[in-house]
Amino acid sequence: MIKHIFDSVELSAFLDDGNCSVLAARLEFTQDVCFIQVYNSFKPSNNAANVVNASGGYNWLIFFKLRPTTINPDNLHSNVIVSSMLDFPIDTLYHSVQKVFGPVLLKDSHWNKTIDPKLQSLLVELEAGLGSTLRKHNQFIALDASASTQSLEDASLAGILTPMDEYKFWSDELLQPVANSFTNIDSLSFVEALELVEVTQDALDDLWKQVEHEPVYPEKRMKHMSEVMSDSVGRFIQRKLGVLDDGVHVCEKWSSAAEMLTLQYWKNYSSHPWKGKNFSSPNLQQLIDRLEEAF
């Protein structure tokens, strides 16, 4: 239901008042009726469960002006920026910096020469700080007794997108040998990548089998970590597609290592047995199949 928006005070203020710079819209439900509500400010929820379930209906669509002026057909496309926003703004800002603004301002051949090095350093620090805050926030959510089990599981994995993220979350020295290597994986040769797979297999085995500290490493988290590493290996190969045969070799070696850990090493480890199916990454297998088709 959107008819009411055209007569809303909020829309009129955004279009006609130069002092009004934001129009925020989101889906809301009243008596099982779904409608779009608009506001002149972004109002994130203070409810932790809502933040966890942002993908289930708590997303925002934000319109904001570059310059304080009224909006007309002539300046609509040049003065209004459109962005989506999760109910937890740090999440959105972190991923925006990490995936959009960071790569453009730090790695693009034009912009990395234009931006002041101090600003680049601050951008790197901002990304690291936002990532740390996001992980701490997710730990806080995990303590929320009102959230569902699935919400808690999702919260514990949010913001863990690279091996370095997992290392930072746990601050676990067992992951230290591989975290930096995965961060700089693009600089590795295929031979070094094969060595990294072997080191990673040993590190994950040590992490899984440690029982001195409670709780032991959760199976769901290890599956997620294995998937993150599989994706990292896959992206590494995709960026180095010039040597397809070696790429297939690295992918197959990692796929075999991950499967061996869950199928053999941990299945019969009495102190902390693996209870689920052996791990395999559909994404990595699809990449292997595509690479083999290219020969």
Per-residue confidence of the chain (295 residues) as pLDDT tens digits? 677 888 899 999 999 998 899 999 988 877 777 888 899 998 776 544 444 333 344 588 999 999 989 999 999 999 999 998 887 788 889 889 988 888 888 888 888 888 888 888 888 888 888 887 776 676 555 444 444 455 545 555 655 666 666 666 655 566 776 777 887 888 888 888 899 999 889 989 988 998 877 778 888 888 888 888 888 888 888 777 666 778 888 889 999 999 999 988 999 899 999 999 999 888 888 888 888 877 6
Residue 284 corresponds to which amino acid?
L
- Distance between CA atoms of residues 292 and 255, nearest Å: 15
pLDDT at 159: 57
- Distance between CA atoms of residues 42 and 14, nearest Å: 13
Nearest by Cα to 119 from 111, 110, 109: 111
Pairing mode of beta strands 60-65, 33-39: unpaired
CA atoms within 13 A on the CB side of 267: 11
pLDDT at 211: 80
pLDDT at 48: 42
For 25, the enclosing helix (H) or strand (E) is strand 22-30
285: phi then psi, degrees, rounded to nearest 5: -65, -40
- Distance between CA atoms of residues 159 and 162, nearest Å: 9
pLDDT at 145: 40
- Distance between CA atoms of residues 154 and 88, nearest Å: 14
